């Protein structure tokens, strides 16, 4: 989300307050932060609705065990959960050393790629080796492939955001504030993966 031309409140002159431009910029950052938090929080309703639908199906009939080990699926999610711990540390380091190349986008891109590669491997194995197909697999197979793909699309979106931040940094822009905001996207996909794991991957 752009903060370039955000409206800022008029500053009130005071000797103890920071200069107007810095206050306005802080307010812009606050506005962008609020927008990001509200946006992701509201968009969680998308996954809540998907989980509601899967819950409905699970109440109707027993949910079969997936052909892929739940440990493998759970281990895959660790890439996201580890990112939750690592990314704030990386952001802190990047904020401390503004002149250095930021770590955060690269950590995020690396962990995201690991996660997506593992998810792709499990779905590939499920389709080709274990013959879990749609439409023959009914709702469980639909939920496995469909919701995994929708979640993966969100992960790709968040990674793309980090990629753009890296590009902006290479072009010389100050990306510290956007780094903090983009970590919220990572938190979102991690949280939603927990939903996915509980609703779809566990029998």
Task: List contacts with other proteins (CB under 8 A).
Answer: 1-2, 4-7, 9-10, 12, 27, 30-32, 34-35, 38-39, 42-50, 52-53, 56-57, 60-61, 134-139, 141-143, 145-146, 150
Residue closer to other proteins, measured from CB, 74 or 160: 160
Task: Tell me the closest approach of the beta carbon of residue 162 to other proteins, in angstroms.
Answer: 19
Which of 76, 78, 73 is closest to 203 using CA atoms?
73
Residue closer to other proteins, measured from CB, 85 or 135: 135
Residue closer to other proteins, measured from CB, 42 or 100: 42
Tokens 């983009």, located at residue:
182
User: Residues near 193 by Cβ (< 8 Å), separated by ≥ 6?
Assistant: 77, 80, 81, 151
Task: Tell me the closest approach of the beta carbon of residue 135 to other proteins, in angstroms.
Answer: 4
Residue closer to other proteins, measured from CB, 103 or 122: 122
Neighbours of 8 (CB within 10 A): 15
Neighbours of 143 (CB within 10 A): 24
Task: Tell me the closest approach of the beta carbon of residue 49 to other proteins, in angstroms.
Answer: 4
> From its phi and psi, is residue 176 left (phi > 0), alpha (psi between -120 and 50) or beta?
alpha
Task: Tell me the closest approach of the beta carbon of residue 199 to other proteins, in angstroms.
Answer: 13
Residue closer to other proteins, measured from CB, 57 or 197: 57
CA distance 180 to 91: 7
């Amino acid at each position: 989300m752009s903060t370039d031309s955000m409206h800022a409140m008029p500053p009130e002159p005071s000797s103890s307050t920071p200069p107007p431009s810095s206050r306005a910029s802080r307010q812009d950052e606050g506005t962008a932060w609020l927008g990001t938090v509200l946006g992701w929080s509201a968009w969680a309703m998308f996954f809540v609705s998907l989980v509601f639908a899967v819950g409905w199906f699970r109440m109707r009939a027993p949910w079969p065990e997936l052909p892929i080990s739940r440990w493998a699926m759970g281990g895959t999610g660790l890439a996201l959960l580890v990112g939750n711990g690592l990314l704030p540390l990386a952001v802190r380091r990047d904020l401390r050393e503004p002149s250095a190349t930021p770590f955060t986008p690269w950590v995020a891109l690396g962990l995201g790629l690991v996660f997506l590669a593992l998810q792709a491997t499990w779905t590939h194995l499920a389709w080709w080796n274990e013959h879990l197909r749609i439409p023959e697999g009914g709702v469980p197979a639909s939920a496995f492939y469909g919701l995994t793909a929708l979640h993966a699309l969100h992960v790709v979106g968040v990674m793309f955001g980090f990629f753009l931040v890296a590009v902006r940094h290479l072009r010389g822009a100050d990306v510290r504030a956007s780094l903090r905001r983009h970590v919220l996207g990572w938190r979102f996909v991690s949280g939603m993966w927990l939903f996915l794991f509980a609703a779809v991957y566990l029998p």
